[in-house]
Amino acid sequence: MGQEVSAHRWMMTAVGKPMIRSDFVAAAGAGEVVVAVAGCGVCHTDLGYFYDGVRTNHPLDLTLGHEISGRVVSCGPGAEGWMGKAVIVPAVMPCGECDACRRGRPNICRRQKMPGNDIHGGFASHIVVPTKGLCPVDETRLANAGLTLADLSVVADAVTTPYQAVSRAGVGPGSVAIVNGVGGVGGYCAQISRAFGATVIAIDVDPLKLDMMAKHGAALALNAREFDQRALKAKIVDFCKAQKLPLSEWIIFECSGTAAGQTTAFSLLTYGATLCVVGFTMDKVDVRLSNLMAFDARALGNWGCPPELYPAALDLVLDGKVNLLDFVERHPLDQINAVFDQAHAHKIARRAILVP
């Protein structure tokens, strides 16, 4: 057992009930470390657990938070080499040993651990996690990029999840990448698609978010409230014709996590298209699945990101190809209940990072 560390965390005890601070002792077992949390991002998924009653795998009481960065301050047996290192904790940690993991499908590992869902998460001063999959951070490059370790917390989901989606979909030079919903994950999806060489079309209902994406790589920004589905697709077709871009094989990323957004994304299918579902909602949508057959298109789900892809996603951030600072804002951890309320009411335009 590693050295014990006095710590505290904020516990969700019931849906919608204010979270409460709880003291605990953090101690790392074999192959584990204690990470002093530098920052933990507030994700749409956290709001779903807290306000909508989306079920967590670990029963309540539970500490939420799965976008975590920090520094290792205590190591269990076999993990001593991590002492003092700055790290990003994967939002989804596969076991690495089961049949699915061995066959290269870690996303469907049934023994995976997700902070804030399977185990206590990062809205805390410290968290105990296995070393498997931890992403080390080069602090010299971090400083040169003008970022803090807390800023990197959002890499653990908001950056790496769309990174996997972009990579799996085969985005590259010449691709048309349509990102529906460019707040949070979608904003990074658009930037990553641009870094992969695609021409990016951003769709949202918030003009401020669209203006932001126009400054960060979107060649076309469309407000979905200004067009019906047919007109929206026609606008994209006209743009592609004018720019001599493909009218087929579009790659469509649904990042809004809303029923309306999912319906809009599905309506944009064209010949050979790829629909990537990145956002999450409990709502159901009414679509004609036969469109997938008629267009010879495909739909891909995207759950988290394998830890082995984290370093490459982090490189895009540290190399300045993906902007973090314009899309995040830091808040004290002890303001967690107020920040959750503001995020849920859409009064926070950027992704909130809670800092102990």
Q: What single string gives the DSSP state of each residue in 105-156?
A: -GGG-TT-B-BTTTB--SSBSEEEEESTT-EE--HHHHHHTT--TTGGGGGG
Query: Can you tell me the distance from the alpha carbon of 137 to that of 148, in angstroms, rounded to the nearest whole number?
Result: 11
**The total number of structural domains that make up the chain:** 2
Residue finishing a domain among 301, 318, 340? 301
Residue finishing a domain among 264, 284, 301? 301
Name the token pair of 201: 């079309």
Compute the CA torsion angle 91, 94, 96, 100 (nearest 10 deg): -140
235-245: burial string, b at 16+ Cβ within 10 Å, e else: bbeebbeeeeb
| Residue 129 and residue 93 share a domain | yes
| Residue 118 and residue 12 share a domain | yes
| Residue 120 and residue 187 share a domain | no
| Residue 297 and residue 309 share a domain | no
Segment holding 101, helix H or strand E: helix 99-102
- What pLDDT is recorded for position 183? 85
Q: Is 260 helix (H, G, I), strand (E, B) or coil?
A: helix
Query: 111: which residues sit within 8 A by CB, 6+ positions away?
Result: 94, 95, 97, 98
- What pLDDT is recorded for position 277? 97
CA-closest candidate to residue 193, choices 313, 67, 319: 313
Range of the domain at 314: 5-157+305-355
Q: Give residue 189's Cα distance to chain centre.
A: 9
The whole-model pTM stands at 0.94
| Residue 265 and residue 321 share a domain | no
Which ranges constitute the DSSP H helices of 243-308? 259-267, 290-294
- Helix and strand totals (H; E) in the chain: 11, 15
Q: Give residue 320's Cα distance to chain centre.
A: 18
| Residue 250 and residue 315 share a domain | no
Per-residue pLDDT of the chain (356 residues; tens, 9 = 90+): 778 999 999 999 999 999 999 999 999 999 999 999 999 999 989 999 999 999 999 999 999 999 999 999 999 999 999 999 999 999 999 999 999 999 999 999 999 999 999 999 999 999 999 999 999 999 999 999 999 999 999 999 999 999 999 999 999 999 999 999 998 899 999 999 999 999 999 999 999 999 999 999 899 999 999 999 999 999 999 999 999 999 999 999 999 999 999 999 999 999 999 999 999 888 999 999 999 999 999 999 999 899 999 999 999 999 999 999 999 999 999 999 999 999 999 888 889 999 99
Q: Is 59 helix (H, G, I), strand (E, B) or coil?
A: coil
Query: Can you tell me the distance from the alpha carbon of 150 to that of 249, in angstroms, rounded to the nearest whole number?
Result: 38
Q: Is 64 helix (H, G, I), strand (E, B) or coil?
A: coil
Q: Is 71 helix (H, G, I), strand (E, B) or coil?
A: strand
CA-closest candidate to residue 328, choices 38, 41, 37, 36: 41
Report angle CA 116, 121, 125 to the nearest 5 degrees: 160
- What pLDDT is recorded for position 281? 86
| Residue 311 and residue 297 share a domain | no
| CATH number of the domain residue 279 falls in | 3.40.50.720
CB 186 within 8 A of CB 180: yes
| Residue 264 and residue 151 share a domain | no
| Residue 227 and residue 212 share a domain | yes
Query: Can you tell me the distance from the alpha carbon of 204 to that of 104, in angstroms, rounded to the nearest whole number?
Result: 34
| Residue 166 and residue 79 share a domain | no
Task: Please spell the DSSP secondary structure of 180-216, one letter per residue.
Answer: E--STHHHHHHHHHHHTT-EEEEEES-HHHHHHHHHT
| Residue 139 and residue 121 share a domain | yes
| Residue 122 and residue 76 share a domain | yes
81-104: burial string, b at 16+ Cβ within 10 Å, e else: ebeebbbbbbbbbbbbebebbeee
Name the token pair of 316: 């895009």
| CATH number of the domain residue 325 falls in | 3.90.180.10
